[in-house]
Structures are given as C-alpha cells and as structure tokens.
Amino acid sequence: MNPQLGSRSRILALGAAAALGALTLTACGSDNNSPTAAASTAATAAATAAASSTAGACGSGTVLGSGSTAQQNAMTIWAKDFQQQCPGANVNYQGVGSSAGRTTFLAGKVAFAGSDAAMAADEIAKSGSVCTGGGRAINLPMAGGPIAIGYNVPGVSNLVLNADLLAKIFTGKITKWNDPAIKALNAGASLPDLAIQTFHRSDGSGTSANFTAYLKASAAASWTYGTNSTWPAPGGQGATGSSGLAAQVKAVKGAISYFELSFAKSGNITTAAIDTGSGTPVAVSTDAAAKALANAQVIGTGSNLALQLDYADKTPGDYPISLVTYEIACDKGNNPATLPALKAFLTYTASDAGQQAITSAGYMQLPSAITDKLKTVIATLS
C-alpha cells in the first residue's frame, strides 16, 4: 500500500489538529539570515515526548512551498523542527518573494505559497486549474510581525519619524538627514549633512504592499502612489528580498529602508520609532505591533481568512506598520500524496507552540481568535 495514502487515513482518523497541537518545530529554509538554534531549543525539548506518540499523523514526503521572504526566518524555525520530529516528512520552502510565490502556486509547482498580501480575488479565480475538484485557493494568516524602518546614520541612534516624513523621504522630497522637518521631530539629535539613500524592494513584495498601504492610510497628502506589491514611486535604489534591503542598509551610510523586525535583529540594524500622533513615539516591537494587530478584521468569507489591518492606528502604544504573512493553499484538490504532511505542518504552525517558537525571531504570536479559526479550516483541507 502507498505509505502516503496510509498516512492520510491515519490523519483523518486521529485528527491532525489534535495530534500535532503539542508539536514544537523549527524550519529549514534557503535564507542565511536564520535565527540561532537556541531560539527553539526549549520548545523542541517540550515536543519530543508528544512527537513520539503522534508520528503517524505527520504524513510523508516533501511539501514544497515558496514565496515571502518576510516569513523566511519563521519557516526556518518551523520546517527544521518539523523534519526533526517527523523524519518521514519535510518542508522545502524557497524565499523568492510574495508575488513570485503566488505565481509559482498558480502554476501548480508548489503545495503552498507564502505571501505578505492576501491572494486577490482575480488570482483566486485562476486557482481552479490547480485546486481540482471544485477547490480554490484560500488565505491562511500564519505569521505576524512589524515592519521596521532600518537606517544607517552615524551618531544617530534614537531617530523618530512619522508617516509624512517617510512618504517624503521615499519619494525624494526630503534628501538630507539634517532636513529641518526631520530636525523638528528629533530635537537634540546630531543629524549630519548626509544624503539620504533610500532602498526599496526590486521584486514584487507583500512587504512593499503593506508599507505602501501604511503610507497611503497615514500620509495621503504626501504619498500619491497607492498600495502596490511592486514599488511604485520613482527614485531610490532596489534590492531583492528583505535580506537584500537589510544588507544595503547595513553597508551604506545614509541608507534607510523597510523590512521585517527579524532582519533588523539578525543584522543588528538601528530602527526608527514612529510618531503616530498619539503623543509618544512608538518603538518597533512585537508587543506594540500585536496591540495594533488585535484590531484586524477578517474580511474573507468561508475558509478564506484574509485580514484587513488598520494602518492608520493612532492608539497610544500601537505600532502601525505591520504585516500578516499568509500561507496560500487549496481548500480542495490538494495532492493526496503530500496532503497529510501539508496539514500536519500547517496545523503545527497555527498551534500555540508553533506561534511561540517564532517570537524570539522577531515575529508576534497571532491572537487566539485567529489561530482558532485557522485550526478549524486546516482540518478540512482535502
């Protein structure tokens, strides 16, 4: 008998959601900016006993995924431990950017795509050729995190910016770090007469989509380029992936860019606090971003759990520049050979253990109101 089909039967009988809820996994990705092994040591130890009794729910084979670089570090944590605890199954995730990941998924080349922006209705309409038997692509929010504004200005370690300044910086209207508008928010800072070097994603990116959504919502007068996963404004310099942006900021004096907090942490990059108008600038942190994420609303229907974030949040202590990165999979019509492993992996990532495992890498734990819905939907994948 095909062992993969046998595993599928066991998963249906045992219930992947219940069986893998206690597993604590880590990931094996292609990015070199991976968190240290110590980040998940305690979680892995706690899962060992549970894993031995639920190995039959792991499925088997290799589950292919590609897409978001924002979730690359989370995938590195999730997939590594998944392979350790489920030796007959593994996840191979390639961080190629959200847009490329969705394209690869719609071409039927991967079991799931990682995307920092929910798959749009027109893309979902195309998914019937991949999700057979009447299936369609669904958005499963899986990791959340703040988008940090990283900068490299010698002698400046406590920079404060706001949405209007960011819009003007990234559109070339403010070109020097000692511009009077920046000085006004940074009294006492020794701002140099140094040219600002902006870096943006050269590839299609959900990080760009979320950052531009923030600028559109909070600085509409100065940002007239809308929301787009492809960087829409003129000027600046491009780099591939969040790791590429972080590397440029680290290397270039006067540089500024946007990337997930995990990349700022791993690169030891200084980040700006954001003046939202609430009275006190908010430093980037997972706790501050989680407060803002609590206001997110599910706007998808049925099994589609697409979220709407409040980018104009001015609540004191809330960090407004965040993203939720999704796993995009078929609700029906998945490859039966890898379906058990796919469900097992996604069930783990949505579990409390999986969510907690990535917090040390700069991600925030999604609210239970979201993860409870995730577990219910994942259990129904077929």
23-81 per-position pLDDT tens digit = 333 333 333 334 334 444 444 444 443 333 334 489 999 999 999 988 999 999 999 98
Does 82 fall in a domain? yes
Mean pLDDT, residues 333-348: 96
One-letter amino acid for residue 292 of the chain: A
Same structural domain for residues 198 and 287?
yes
Same structural domain for residues 136 and 159?
no
* Total-model pTM: 0.76
Which residue has better confidence, 57 or 226?
226
Tens digit of each residue's pLDDT (9 = 90 or more) over 203-214: 988 899 999 999
Percentage of the chain beyond pLDDT 70 is: 85
Mean pLDDT, residues 110-127: 95
Does 314 fall in a domain? no
- The residues pairing with 148 across neighbouring beta strands, listed in sequence order, are 259
Split into its structural domains, the chain has a count of: 2
CATH number where 29 lies: 3.40.190.10
Give, in degrees to the nearest 5, the angle at Cα 224 between 219 and 230.
Answer: 105
Residue with tokens 């430093």: 283
Same structural domain for residues 334 and 357?
yes
Same structural domain for residues 99 and 191?
no
CA-based radius of gyration for the chain: 21
The predicted pLDDT at position 8 comes to 34
Tens digit of each residue's pLDDT (9 = 90 or more) over 129-173: 999 999 999 999 999 999 999 999 999 999 999 999 999 999 999
- How many angstroms separate the Cα of 248 from the Cα of each of 151, 198, 199, 224, 265? 10, 10, 8, 26, 15
Per-residue confidence band for 367, with pLDDT thresholds at 50, 70 and 90:
confident
Does 350 fall in a domain? yes
Does 318 fall in a domain? no
Does 312 fall in a domain? no
Tokens representing 138 are 């669904």
Same structural domain for residues 160 and 109?
no
Residue 22 has pLDDT above 70, yes or no: no
Does 317 fall in a domain? no
Nearest CA to 381 out of 326, 325, 324, 335 is that of 335
- The residues pairing with 95 across neighbouring beta strands, listed in sequence order, are 67
Same structural domain for residues 154 and 284?
yes
Instruction: For residue 265, give its domain range.
Output: 147-291
Nearest CA to 94 out of 75, 77, 117, 119 is that of 75
